[in-house]
Amino acid sequence: MSVDKSILLQKQVKDNSEDLQSAFLDLSNWEAEMKRKDQELRGQNSNQVLPPVRSKKKKTTQKPTTKEEKCSTNTKRIKSGDYSAWDKFDVEKACKEIDKADSSEESEEELNEEALKKKHDIATEHKQKGNVFVQQKEWDKAISCYSEAIKHFPYDAVFYANRALCHLKKDNLYSAESDCSSAIQLDSEYLKAYHRRATARIELKQYKEAKQDVEKILKLEPSNKEAQTMLAQINKKLEAAKPIVISEEVGTEKTSIEKKIGEKMWKSNDKISKEVNNKEIEKNIENKTIKTGMKYMPIPDWLPEKDNVEIVEPIVKPPHLQSKKPMKRIKTLLEYCKNIENKSQEEIEELYKAYEIEYQTNL
């Protein structure tokens, strides 16, 4: 029984060591994979920076093969039942190899930092040249210098903001807005980038977006007087750009625009008709003529006395007050007065009264 227990104990120890070893290898492989993906993403981000830079020399990036990966490829997985292989396996040696791989990766990171520092120094030299051209107001040369700086080191927001200033001076508003957006992506609290982008957006009449930039400046620096004046100007522009809404409320009722137009037309027509009647319509009862505009209508002898003569004026109603009933034809005075020569004065007066009654009932 004691022999069986010792065998079981040895088997459990080997199983535990096997599980521990597999977990350790999985962890190391996962770490190597994450580092590789991080390097790929950094390369993609550097390639996506605008504007794209084309160079004759193609940079070839070789993935460093660590000893850890070699060990993982060369060493085969030991089977759980292979006890002799487990006896030969050296755990301390494997741990030392992994430590060496980590130290080599750290040294490579230090080399990358040194290379980035050199690139930043070169880019700073180009930026200083661009600053000199800005003082001389040579905007094209300054843009080329800042572009060279971005080519060498595309991670500094100042390069993009300085180039945006040159684009603003040349009225390249969309390019200025794009450079300011790139600078803000690198540094979300860069006041000059927000200010220059707001200036470009005001010129592009993008007042809402410009207002957001100015509000961000005031949030970062509340005492900025220039941003306060810009905000007041933008608010005036937004108020002027608002559409005019014609709506008037009297109590709970709303008067429609069509009704207003009809009432105005009716009032204007009424005024015009009154002026025409006062000026152009003249009665000349002695000569028995009525002057209406340019037409002269003689008053017939068979009509009643002069005091009963009236001018019938047309009734003009606005569209919203006109009746929708079908029109009815009425007889004219001439139709009533057919063959009037053979009738007496009393019959003529009766015909005239009948015509007047029918006319008033059909109004």
337 within 8 A of 351, measured Cβ to Cβ: yes
Can you tell me whether residue 150 is helix, strand or coil? helix
Highest mean pLDDT among 13-27, 89-103, 204-218, 253-267: 204-218
In which band, very low, low, confident or very high, does the pLDDT at 60 lie, cut at 50, 70 and 90?
Answer: very low
317 within 8 A of 266, measured Cβ to Cβ: yes
97 within 8 A of 67, measured Cβ to Cβ: yes
- DSSP β-bridge partners for residue 248: 255
Mean pLDDT of 309-328: 77
Report pLDDT for 291. Answer: 44
Report pLDDT for 24. Answer: 75
196 within 8 A of 161, measured Cβ to Cβ: yes
**Rounded (5°) CA angle 154-156-159:** 85
Report pLDDT for 293. Answer: 43
Report pLDDT for 131. Answer: 92
Highest mean pLDDT among 17-21, 137-141, 287-291, 359-363: 137-141
DSSP string of 75-103, one letter each residue: SPPPPTT-HHHHHH--HHHHHHHHHHHHH
Cis peptide bond N-terminal to 51, omega within 30: yes
Asked whether residue 244 carries a pLDDT value surpassing 80, the answer given is no
Strand order in the sheet with 282-284: 282-284, 289-292, 295-298
Render pLDDT for 87-112 as a digit per residue (tens, 0 to 9).
Answer: 666 667 777 777 766 666 655 566 57
Can you tell me whether residue 254 is helix, strand or coil? strand
In which band, very low, low, confident or very high, does the pLDDT at 139 lie, cut at 50, 70 and 90?
Answer: very high
Mean pLDDT of 163-186: 90
Mean pLDDT of 103-128: 77
Q: Give the relative orientation of helices 207-220 and 225-240 as an angle to the nearest 10 degrees.
A: 160
* Weakest-pLDDT range from 10-24, 130-144, 182-196, 336-350: 336-350
Q: Which residue has tokens 């620096």?
A: 221
* Weakest-pLDDT range from 8-17, 30-39, 81-90, 159-168: 81-90
The burial class, CB within 10 Å (0-12 / 13-18 / 19+), for 39 is middle
259 within 8 A of 320, measured Cβ to Cβ: yes
Mean pLDDT of 228-234: 90
- Separation between Cα atoms, residue 87 and residue 78, nearest integer Å: 11
What does the buried/exposed string (b/e) look like for 90-107 if buried means 16 or more CB atoms within 10 Å of the residue's CB?
A: eeeebeebbeebeeebee
Identify the H or E element spanning 171.
none
In which band, very low, low, confident or very high, does the pLDDT at 198 lie, cut at 50, 70 and 90?
Answer: very high
- Separation between Cα atoms, residue 188 and residue 34, nearest integer Å: 27
Highest mean pLDDT among 24-28, 112-116, 298-302, 303-307: 112-116
Mean pLDDT of 207-225: 90
Q: Name the H helices within the chain.
A: 2-47, 67-74, 83-88, 91-135, 139-152, 157-169, 173-186, 191-203, 207-220, 225-240, 257-279, 333-336, 345-361
Asked whether residue 6 carries a pLDDT value surpassing 70, the answer given is yes
283 within 8 A of 276, measured Cβ to Cβ: no
- Separation between Cα atoms, residue 143 and residue 141, nearest integer Å: 5
Contacts for 263 with CB less than 8 Å, ≥ 6 apart: 318
